[in-house]
Structure 1
């Protein structure tokens, strides 16, 4: 069908009301109008559906659109009917129709009224439909969400595998495959399976410069972190993804209790509830949808402002798809993911019952997700590299839109290590996946390495001064720098690129970015939410509580921080405790302190809650002393017995700074500790008095401020121990 460009633009204006095509749309539409097999890779929000809707409306006959999502079909059919006088212009053919509706669809197709027929792959398999469609004039077949064909895609559906055979039975018409996400492996798989290796391939850029990417450590208080985040984005629409239906229900209930208008959405709900919740979200009768990753939401809402992953997805494709639901209108889109390696281990356990081939695919995809979460390089560059697209991390559009770019990690020279890594890949004949390469470097034997006698080679263990985390991080960065690549056929096997071979001939500087470690804080302690910067707290209440703290401190002749520290005040303004028992569960308070100072504070908070009609997050008040009770008791008993602190630390396998941290947690939550005996060995009476007076008059008890004040007269350990003594005597 030869068509003039002017006709094309006229149809675009007449049917859709647009003057211009977006991105690659014009080329794709022309390819279909010229009866060519066509493959389109276009990110969410790029205007994929117009690519087949416009040619379907312009060509003679009916176009069949295969789509996996009933909800999405319904949306699209409604949209097409909205631009036409005739209801029959677009139809759905799936299991939701009754007999009368099915005969209406058939009669509209026979009379040439229907231009677009949306079909689920399961319906297309039915012999009666195949026989009926064989007798009709079909213009082309469009396969939406084509990644469902590939077991390497994030949403593999076995029934998609037979589509080529069924299409052939109906008519020898052009095929158009469309997907919003596909790595080279998935693309190759789709083209092969559909038998259209001759297709015109159109690939749009995957970059969504308006999206901000952040990965945070997932703590046991992840629900609190989510509530804080949402309260910072009040009134904005968001989606939260969880891996299980149970978690979806739990999270949506916690949000509701905390005054957030949220609804659950998963395959276990009946169709009526799902439709209702989806409409509530679209019509802005609720702000947040909590949904399972397994369930494609098919929601085309342009103003979703944040997407939160409570659990890490199973592949980077899923992650890209799901985060892509934010900011489709080009406005703000915040993509926040909570990551813990424990979740990866859980997913690996789920895979254990699957066939070996499927397990291999699953593990390979998961490792890509781990790489993305743990990397400290530009996240956008990492993500786009995964989809085979180069990105300039300095000047590219949206280059600074992620947590790693806003808070850059240290870089270190790794020229020698890169040369060692590339040398090992070369000397093991480029036959190993990253895990085996790393095992070779650190000298860890396994059956595969033994079978190839790699463990007997001179280079075995050549990199053992670094751990496996280091080498994995380096492999990921070298991969993005294009010195190595992953083989498509034997997915995951690492090969040297021409650039990598050149590096081996002539090594040059390679600056490696330090990786994130998600289990611990910088000083080795487990990260807890109370240590994180306090966000989403009630600022007005904070300032009232600080005024009261000052007043109480004055009455008792102690500095304000000796009454309650700032983290405790912030936690009160998040949890609104109104009884002594609730106050004792606030971060850094404890029972002793709550009883000693709490009365006026809970009275103030109670009054504030009533006057401002505040929904209190009762179920979120979780006790978090930061010290397990056995260790706490051991420290209290042995300081009472005046056991040297070094001995207490040693017997519990702690370093001195760790012991001091535990003792701080004890006294900050209101329990006394007597460590005079230890301090008397360190500091004389005058020195102790000098530091005591400093804390008495200080605005804050921050150790850095004290170090600055004394300018090297006392070290960190001495000041911390004195702060413990001071807090114990004055505050408790």
Structure 2
């Protein structure tokens, strides 16, 4: 079968079923390759259109496409979204009754489905494997493929067993997809899934519509409240916290301040957790306060911000979590409050884990890279993309580019800090060392006679927050380690020696007192202007109301009916016939048939 013969029907499906005029980026090449029976490893950023890369080949090939996904809670929404565009899809998971599962299995066996979603644990059961043996399989799609990596940020042991697909079904093409994988993780995915000979399609990791901002942590809850009120009032967002307790407390605090916030963490009752996730997906302007248990596979396109109140463990985790914002291509914010205690806490978690030394070393290196991103003097996006092996230039859409930090020769203050750590015999934590530097005669300083040290008071001209900023940079630069004894004692590394001897100069970021300011909106590269006139805004608001009511009737999230971007285009173009509406991106034939007359009538009514 020629490439052209594949590509034309693929484009036809894209336009008539999904309602998009053309493929983006590498989508056409991936669809073409998999539809012809080739294996593929696809790295594409969140919101880049990964799902079309297996959905369309599954529809082009004979048989059912089997999608392996760890996201049982979201399978229903994924199937509902496909049903809305006329694709025959179903799922097999533990939420179904025996009769429901039997019906789905029968449809798989009889070739009555285009796609079936299955959790990896379910797929590995003898019953499910026998079902697949007895059925015509178009392809296997392994979503969230980074879960197979033991060195990655989201390892799932059940993914390791998925290599059985290659052994048991050698002639069925496999496509593994992820938004997040550094070169090491990418190699591990290929090896563990026996995709060493697969074509690799690596898209740009850049999400130009996301603005990155990292601020000094003072009062994190108050800071995130101000951020939401000033920059994203009445908009959907996610606030990540490290602990379940902090999730509960932060959600309660935001609720008390008038924010429509919900908690989500693995310790909650399953029904409450599922209900909160459903509300986030189906309602507008919900702020989800969550641990990292929340978010994988979340397909909500209009999340306008992702905030972190604690330092993520790795750049992969940070990228994956922030990537849940702005899936519709409109501007979104990735905001983080970060302080010295975050570093201490993350180091302690690594050191106290039961993992072997190799794993701890790798996790330590990942944390170092994350610290480097926080403390960088240069464009954050350049640093982020460089981690994934992608060279780039300054982005103009991160806090460092928009308000460049002042750097200075910090060799002398760094020497003072390292000397103070050495003089207290590397046995004390940050607070005590800073007291010694500033000449603060605390009871503890007097008890240990540290007010008699030569380093006592040598940094009295520098404030406590400034010293904390210098210490954070000392840790990020590898001069200082935090021991995880009861005191969080600071220890010098071998890297500190040339600095103490004056053989190495150190450039530091100048501490800047946090200033409350409202940002000016900056349009990211490639962003299409969506500002609406007063008439267009009225149409858009009416469409949103119609969408809410329609989604409620169909019992699906609002975005499954139409994305905001599609409704904005309808508001701008004001289609007064079905042929006009057919030209709008995101309106396929099934949606045109289902909703076309209602929308045209609404437009005509608003125009009168």
TM-score normalized by the length of structure 2: 0.68
Alignment-derived partner of residue 152 in structure 2: 153
CA distance change for structure 1 residues 438 and 299 in 2, over 3 Å: closer, same or farther?
closer
1:41–1:180 CA contact under 8 A, matched in 2: yes
1:138–1:171 CA contact under 8 A, matched in 2: no
Tell whether 2:89 aligns with 1:107: no
Tell whether 2:225 aligns with 1:223: no
Tell whether 2:300 aligns with 1:301: yes
2:181–2:316 CA contact under 8 A, matched in 1: yes
Aligned to 2:12, the other structure's residue is in SS state: helix
Deviations 1:204-253 (A, max 9, x none): 1111111111111112x211111111111211221100111111110000
The equivalences for 1:548-563 within 5 A come to none
Alignment-derived partner of residue 281 in structure 1: 280
Alignment-derived partner of residue 130 in structure 1: 129
Tell whether 2:515 aligns with 1:533: yes
CA distance change for structure 1 residues 55 and 460 in 2, over 3 Å: closer, same or farther?
closer
Q: C-alpha separation between the residues in 1 aligned to 2:124 and 2:40?
A: 23
CA distance change for structure 1 residues 412 and 226 in 2, over 3 Å: closer, same or farther?
closer
- CA-CA distance at 1:404 after TM superposition: 1.0
Q: C-alpha separation between the residues in 2 aligned to 1:516 and 1:409?
A: 6
CA distance change for structure 1 residues 296 and 302 in 2, over 3 Å: closer, same or farther?
closer
- CA-CA distance at 1:413 after TM superposition: 9.4
Deviations 1:21-57 (A, max 9, x none): 0111000000101111111100000000000001101
Alignment-derived partner of residue 408 in structure 1: 404
Alignment-derived partner of residue 373 in structure 1: 374
CA distance change for structure 1 residues 333 and 460 in 2, over 3 Å: closer, same or farther?
closer
Alignment-derived partner of residue 192 in structure 2: 193
CA distance change for structure 1 residues 190 and 466 in 2, over 3 Å: closer, same or farther?
farther
Alignment-derived partner of residue 484 in structure 1: none
**Residue number among 22, 26, 29 corresponding to 2:28 in the alignment:** 26
Alignment-derived partner of residue 249 in structure 1: 248
Q: C-alpha separation between the residues in 2 aligned to 1:359 and 1:413?
A: 33
Alignment-derived partner of residue 450 in structure 2: none
- CA-CA distance at 1:288 after TM superposition: 0.9
2:409–2:508 CA contact under 8 A, matched in 1: no
- CA-CA distance at 1:461 after TM superposition: 4.6
Alignment-derived partner of residue 598 in structure 2: none
Tell whether 2:47 aligns with 1:48: no
Q: C-alpha separation between the residues in 1 aligned to 2:285 and 2:278?
A: 9
Q: C-alpha separation between the residues in 2 aligned to 1:466 and 1:177?
A: 51
Q: C-alpha separation between the residues in 2 aligned to 1:213 and 1:50?
A: 28
1:150–1:156 CA contact under 8 A, matched in 2: yes
Q: C-alpha separation between the residues in 1 aligned to 2:105 and 2:252?
A: 45
Deviations 1:660-682 (A, max 9, x none): xxxxxxxxxxxxxxxxxxxxxxx
1:41–1:182 CA contact under 8 A, matched in 2: yes
**Stretches of 4+ moved more than 4 A in 1?**
411-414, 435-439, 459-463, 465-468
Alignment-derived partner of residue 72 in structure 1: 74
- CA-CA distance at 1:138 after TM superposition: 1.1
CA distance change for structure 1 residues 296 and 460 in 2, over 3 Å: closer, same or farther?
closer
Deviations 1:153-208 (A, max 9, x none): 22111111111124422454221110011111111111111112111111111111
Deviations 1:43-89 (A, max 9, x none): 000000000001101110111111111133222211111122x7xx2
Of structures 1 and 2, the one scoring higher in RCO (CA 8 A, sep 6+) is 2
- CA-CA distance at 1:278 after TM superposition: 2.2
Alignment-derived partner of residue 353 in structure 2: 353
1:121–1:163 CA contact under 8 A, matched in 2: yes
- CA-CA distance at 1:347 after TM superposition: 2.1
Alignment-derived partner of residue 610 in structure 1: none
Alignment-derived partner of residue 605 in structure 1: none
CA distance change for structure 1 residues 169 and 409 in 2, over 3 Å: closer, same or farther?
same
1:242–1:311 CA contact under 8 A, matched in 2: yes
CA distance change for structure 1 residues 133 and 467 in 2, over 3 Å: closer, same or farther?
farther
1:375–1:515 CA contact under 8 A, matched in 2: no
Deviations 1:666-701 (A, max 9, x none): xxxxxxxxxxxxxxxxxxxxxxxxxxxxxxxxxxxx
Aligned to 1:197, the other structure's residue is in SS state: coil
- CA-CA distance at 1:98 after TM superposition: 1.7
The equivalences for 1:307-386 within 5 A come to 307-351=306-350, 352-356=352-356, 357-386=358-387
Alignment-derived partner of residue 206 in structure 2: 207
Q: C-alpha separation between the residues in 2 aligned to 1:179 and 1:199?
A: 15
Alignment-derived partner of residue 541 in structure 2: none
Q: C-alpha separation between the residues in 2 aligned to 1:141 and 1:62?
A: 9
- CA-CA distance at 1:106 after TM superposition: 1.0
Alignment-derived partner of residue 264 in structure 1: 263
Aligned to 1:48, the other structure's residue is in SS state: coil
When the two chains are superposed, the root-mean-square deviation of aligned CA atoms in Å is 2.8
Q: C-alpha separation between the residues in 1 aligned to 2:348 and 2:387?
A: 25
Q: C-alpha separation between the residues in 1 aligned to 2:154 and 2:503?
A: 35
1:69–1:296 CA contact under 8 A, matched in 2: no
Q: C-alpha separation between the residues in 2 aligned to 1:36 and 1:4?
A: 13
1:213–1:401 CA contact under 8 A, matched in 2: yes
Aligned to 1:148, the other structure's residue is in SS state: helix
Please list every run of 5 or more consecutive structure 2 residues that lacks an aligned counterpart in the other structure: 411-473, 481-492, 519-608
Deviations 1:279-326 (A, max 9, x none): 322333553111111333532121111111011111111111111111
CA distance change for structure 1 residues 269 and 76 in 2, over 3 Å: closer, same or farther?
same
CA distance change for structure 1 residues 125 and 247 in 2, over 3 Å: closer, same or farther?
same
Greater Cα offset, 335-344 or 68-77: 68-77
Q: C-alpha separation between the residues in 1 aligned to 2:277 and 2:236?
A: 12
2:74–2:298 CA contact under 8 A, matched in 1: yes
Q: C-alpha separation between the residues in 1 aligned to 2:9 and 2:299?
A: 29
1:293–1:313 CA contact under 8 A, matched in 2: no
2:406–2:509 CA contact under 8 A, matched in 1: no
Please list every run of 5 or more consecutive structure 1 residues that lacks an aligned counterpart in the other structure: 394-398, 415-434, 443-453, 472-513, 523-530, 537-732
1:66–1:143 CA contact under 8 A, matched in 2: yes
Q: C-alpha separation between the residues in 1 aligned to 2:266 and 2:85?
A: 31
Q: C-alpha separation between the residues in 2 aligned to 1:374 and 1:61?
A: 52
CA distance change for structure 1 residues 98 and 467 in 2, over 3 Å: closer, same or farther?
farther
Q: C-alpha separation between the residues in 2 aligned to 1:79 and 1:261?
A: 26
Q: C-alpha separation between the residues in 2 aligned to 1:247 and 1:285?
A: 24
Alignment-derived partner of residue 10 in structure 2: 8
Aligned to 2:100, the other structure's residue is in SS state: helix
CA distance change for structure 1 residues 532 and 98 in 2, over 3 Å: closer, same or farther?
same
CA distance change for structure 1 residues 301 and 26 in 2, over 3 Å: closer, same or farther?
same
CA distance change for structure 1 residues 168 and 235 in 2, over 3 Å: closer, same or farther?
same
Larger radius of gyration: 1
Q: C-alpha separation between the residues in 1 aligned to 2:291 and 2:193?
A: 29
